[in-house]
Amino acid sequence: MVALSAVGIIVAFVLLIGGSWKKISMFLVAVICAGIIGATGGLGFIEAIKGPYMDGFTDFVKSWAVIIALGALLGSLYGKSGAAWRIGDVLIAKAGSSLALLVYVLVGALLVYCGIAVPVTLFVLLPFAKVIFPRAGIPWSLFPAVTGLGVATFAMYTPGSLQVINLIPTQYYGISTMAAPLEGFASSAFLLIVGILYLKWEIRRNSRNLALDGPDQYIVQGEKVDNSEMAEKAPPFLIALIPVVVTLILVNLLQIDTIISFSVGCILALVLFWKNIPDKAACISQGFNDGIMPCILVSAVVGLGSVISSTPVFAEIRDNVMLLPINGLAKVAAVSTIISGISASAAGGIQLAMNLFGEEFLSWGYSPDIIARVAAIASGGLDSMPWNGTVVMMFTLSGVGYSKGYKYVAVITVILPIVTSLFAALLYTVRMGLLG
């Protein structure tokens, strides 16, 4: 039974990866996979779906649906009001061509760190990129990698980030969102510096082809932004910052409940941006709804973890993970990034890793703070496969082909986060060695 159960899990994960690649409904594929795992694991096809799968599914929805929806609503309010545009415009306008790359990345990171949804941030950054890249001599084929550094790496899991990748492991262990601040901030700085240096090297290497690698040579998507109209419409810079700054303070410093904190941020944004939002009812409704489907898709993957943990092979998987001949924190990183790669989702991967191995990680003697930080960073590695939603969106919006731009994305959003998670583990190990 154990061997058959293992085969069922392998087949299910192959189907999950294949479904992601072919863009088949993740929910549909996950339900079928749950049935396969149940049938081969002695639970029964239908029984596995109705029982442990739906238990895991509903548990995630119960814990995260409102938070994710409120984050999407906050992003909608910032997008429709022009507040996100104002923040980007002011910061980028102050950067010369020598700092354009760094400031562009930091603008995207700031918006994401403050809880603005990644799709909203991408639409904000795209018009800026069209202007900045030619002026700064940045090849357009690097758009997905440059933008990915800002929106899909360190900002997602820097201590205090309002993104679910940071919230899930810290809430699982009941610790602060600022957990492991030394390792967290140092790792984010490491990733940012190495990422910028790598991109600058690629820019220099591709500078000869710049005339043939600008936005005009690609079919760039997205609505055309009228900067003069946005300048009149958008709220002032300092006003635009207030809702996200207040939300960050409530969550990280005052440690107020996340739902209450996001609600306050949304209410503040609605009040402060009231005159800047043309159709308020549509903005609120669409914004909140935009968070529902991502939550459902992540829940669909998380439910598989409940089924797997109910099979006879799970105990052997757990024991074999413990026997891996590597540092314990490196095991945390390996498990987290592999599961994220299978689910093509950092959020789904980190939740699945916590559900399956969270208590096991603790039994290895490490503090929950460093486990949460390493797991969060690592979950942002293998999730960035070509079929990942954010990756697909960056390539679709920019018009850059995978054959031309994905190799840069792989370095920035796959290799660097994995290396950074090991950097965080090493930093913690060194610090503990010096202290103890």
For residue range 98-125, list pLDDT tens digits in order.
788 998 999 899 989 988 888 778 877 8
For residue range 80-104, list pLDDT tens digits in order.
888 888 887 887 777 766 788 998 9
pLDDT the model gives residue 333: 94
More confident residue, 393 or 321: 393
Contacts of 333 (CB under 8 A, 6+ apart): 374, 375, 377, 378, 418, 421, 422, 425
Of 192-196, 221-225, 343-347, 407-411, the one with minimum mean pLDDT is 221-225
Split at pLDDT 50, 70, 90, the class of 322 is low
Of 128-137, 224-233, 341-350, the one with minimum mean pLDDT is 224-233
Contacts of 260 (CB under 8 A, 6+ apart): 250
More confident residue, 176 or 4: 176
pLDDT the model gives residue 207: 75
Read off the tokens for 127.
Answer: 């018009």
- What is the distance of C-alpha 250 from the center of its chain? 22
Region 311-318 average pLDDT: 75
Region 327-344 average pLDDT: 84
Which residue reads 């913690």 in tokens? Answer: 428
Read off the tokens for 143.
Answer: 């758009």
Of 142-151, 211-220, 420-429, the one with minimum mean pLDDT is 211-220
pTM value surpassing 0.75 = yes
pLDDT the model gives residue 311: 82
Does pLDDT of 345 surpass 80?
no
Q: Are 352 and 343 in contact (CB under 8 A)?
A: yes
Split at pLDDT 50, 70, 90, the class of 278 is confident
- CA terminus-to-terminus distance, the chain: 46
Does pLDDT of 164 surpass 70?
yes
Which residue reads 């709804």 in tokens? Answer: 289
Average pLDDT, the chain: 86
Does pLDDT of 196 surpass 90?
yes
Q: Are 113 and 160 in contact (CB under 8 A)?
A: yes
Gap between the Cα atoms of 91 and 313, Å rounded = 53
Gap between the Cα atoms of 341 and 335, Å rounded = 10
Region 366-386 average pLDDT: 92
pLDDT the model gives residue 214: 66
pLDDT the model gives residue 341: 81
pLDDT the model gives residue 176: 93
> Minimal CA–CA distance to 20: which of 430, 403, 384?
384
Query: Can you give the chain as a three-state secondary structure string?
Result: CHHHHHHHHHHHHHHHHHHHHCCCCHHHHHHHHHHHHHHHCCCCHHHHHHHHHHHHHHHHHHHHHHHHHHHHHHHHHHHHHCHHHHHHHHHHHCCCCCCHHHHHHHHHHHHHHCCCCHHHHHHHHHHHHHHHHHHHCCCHHHHHHHHHHHHCCHHHHCCCCCCHHHHHHHHHCCCCCCCCHHHHHHHHHHHHHHHHHHHHHHHHHCHHHHHHCCHHHCCCCCCCCCHHHHHHHCCCHHHHHHHHHHHHHHHHHCCCCHHHHHHHHHHHHHHHCHHHCCCHHHHHHHHHHCCHHHHHHHHHHHHHHHHHHCCCCHHHHHHHHHCCCCCHHHHHHHHHHHHHHHHCCHHHHHHHHHHHHHHHHHHCCCCHHHHHHHHHHHHCCCCCCCCCHHHHHHHHHHCCCHHHHHHHHHHHHHHHHHHHHHHHHHHHHHHHHHHC
